[in-house]
Amino acid sequence: MTTPFSPQEQGEPIAAIATPLGIGALAVVRISGRGVFDIAHKVFRKKGNPSFHFAQSKGFRAHFGTVHDSDGLIDEVVALVFRFPNSFTKEDMVELSCHGGPVVVKHILKVLLDEGCRLAEPGEFTRRAFLNGRIDLLQAEAIGEMIHARSESAFRTAVTQMEGTLSTRLDTMREELLHSCALLELELDFSEEDVEFQSRSQLQAELHLLKEELSRLIDSYQHGRLLKEGVATVIAGRANAGKSTLLNTLLGEERSIVSHQPGTTRDYIEECFVHNKTMFRLVDTAGLREGEGEIEHEGIRRSYKKISEADLILYLIDISVDNYLDEVSTIDEFLGRYPAAHLLVVANKTDITQKCAERIEQLRAATGCDVCGTAAAKGDGVGLLKLLMSNMAEGLNKQQEASVLVTSLRHYEALRNAFDCINNAQALIVRNAETELVAFELRSALEFVGEITGKVVNEEILSLIFDRFCIGK
């Protein structure tokens, strides 16, 4: 088990480029840890005050000057000073804002490394913020989710978690479990005297309330996952129905190869677009037909795998052909085979037939599904299709108005485990089982809840989380 170290014991000095490499107006190089003021002093000269030392500076102060190496001037910079413990890492920190050329920032980073800093590992600044008690583990993960958010909804959810809303809920639950565990442990200490410090009926009522709260958080994961990862939307249908054309039209770019020759798409293509603050992960699949070769067979197999993982299926039918109703049996098969996904029938190529309205109504009656007519090549009907997709995405969520959402599979699994432990404890109480058995289940639930915020954590979990961060964060 890993426990946070004391902030007074600052870690070895680390340095990293905190902004993306590339040409830009500005870039930031940050350093944190023991002795960074002395290191920064060796390379920085303040304009108008050559004797300036960072140890003299108050926190949250900016100083204009230059950075030098053994060959001379590197760049003019603004140095921001953060003093322990009032910094992101709760260590002494300096951030150097310089011009945003990749050669410039690499020179500045090199001179800091030459003077005693170590190159930071991915996520090490945020990891130190967690270990020093600046944030909890859930908030650290929220920072990463906020950086990588690809939709407004995902960003807002990450901000809410970074503010600590979910952490507060979990801390309250943990305190209640701690209280119950303490009373049961007290009973075990006085087991020979047969004293009951915790009324079993009262404990059952408290555990029931905890299970209700856990259940609400567990149920919120469906919506939280959709906000974070996007709605997995598979475009399926027979070869040459216009799937690749629809993908390109929805994306507004030529992402997929379009050809009148069936079987052009041999593997799935995945791209994202945002509509009404909801991100859709579009997957263009190989046409569903009898493949004519090993490669096409594999593409079709992968298509079915993606369909099985979909939240939303757009099933395309070419209604310009006379046998378009032959697709109804396939749609019925999909509805039975993939009940968790919402299915929307897209009657494509409406610009080629004069009977489109009649045929759309026939499809609607035969399938019982929503049907949207489109001419994907021209963009006709695509606006209505996007609206129907957004409405279906809302229907996938049963916790639309929830103030707190669970977005991480790690958190979801820990909550499910905690729920199961409390359920087991209740069953043991009903059977008048030994206090030690009930206490064991509640201690296990306590650990599962603690894993989420980092009250209970191991090195493997930390590595899994922070290795996904970029260097410099």
E-strand stretches of 285-412: 312-318, 342-348, 371-374
Query: Residue written as tokens 């407004």?
Result: 152
Hey, CA dihedral for 443, 447, 450, 455, is it positive or negative? positive
Residue 270 CB partners (closer than 8 Å, separation 6+): 281, 282, 283, 284
Residue 225 CB partners (closer than 8 Å, separation 6+): 407, 409
Neighbouring C-beta atoms of residue 290, cutoff 10 Å? 8
Question: For the whole model, what pTM was predicted?
Answer: 0.80
Which segment of 140-144, 182-186, 262-266, 353-357 scores lowest on mean pLDDT? 262-266
Which residues make beta-bridge pairs with 318?
348
Helix (H) or strand (E) holding 327: none
Helix (H) or strand (E) holding 385: helix 382-395
Each residue's pLDDT tens digit, 90-148: 999 999 999 999 999 999 999 999 999 999 999 999 999 999 999 999 999 999 999 88
The secondary structure of 289-325 as a DSSP string is S--SSHHHHHHHHHHHHHHHT-SEEEEEEETTSTTGG
Using DSSP bridges, classify how beta strands 44-46 and 61-69 pair: parallel, antiparallel or unpaired.
antiparallel
Task: Classify residue 87 by burial, with Cβ atoms within 10 Å: 0-12, 13-18, 19+.
Answer: buried
Query: Residue written as tokens 């075990």?
Result: 188
Domain boundaries, the chain: 14-134, 142-220+405-454, 231-395
Each residue's pLDDT tens digit, 6-39: 445 789 999 999 999 889 999 999 999 999 999 9
Give the per-residue pLDDT at 171.
94
Give the per-residue pLDDT at 21.
87
Each residue's pLDDT tens digit, 80-91: 999 999 999 999
Q: Say if CB 188 and CB 439 are below 8 A apart.
A: yes
Q: Which CATH number does the domain 142-220+405-454 belong to among 3.40.30.20, 1.20.120.430, 3.40.50.170, 1.20.140.10?
A: 1.20.120.430
Give the per-residue pLDDT at 284.
84
Same fold, 14-134 and 231-395: no
Domain 14-134 has CATH 3.30.1360.120: yes
Return the closest-CA partner of residue 345 out of 320, 312, 377, 321: 312
With vertex at residue 125, the alpha carbon angle to CA 124 and CA 127, rounded to the nearest 5 degrees, is: 60
Percent share of the chain, pLDDT over 90: 58
- Looking at mean pLDDT, say which of 72-76, 182-186, 328-332 comes out highest: 72-76
Return the closest-CA partner of residue 427 out of 211, 134, 166, 198: 211
Bigger pLDDT: 424 vs 200:
424
Give dist(CA 207, CA 209) in Å, integer.
5
Give dist(CA 86, CA 61) in Å, integer.
12
Residue 354 CB partners (closer than 8 Å, separation 6+): none
Give dist(CA 2, CA 12) in Å, integer.
18
Q: At what angle do helices 152-162 and 221-229 cross, to 10 degrees?
A: 120
Give dist(CA 394, CA 340) in Å, integer.
14
Domain 231-395 has CATH 3.30.300.180: no
pLDDT mean over 170-187 = 90
Query: Residue written as tokens 């995405």?
Result: 393
Give dist(CA 116, CA 96) in Å, integer.
16
DSSP three-state, residue 279: strand
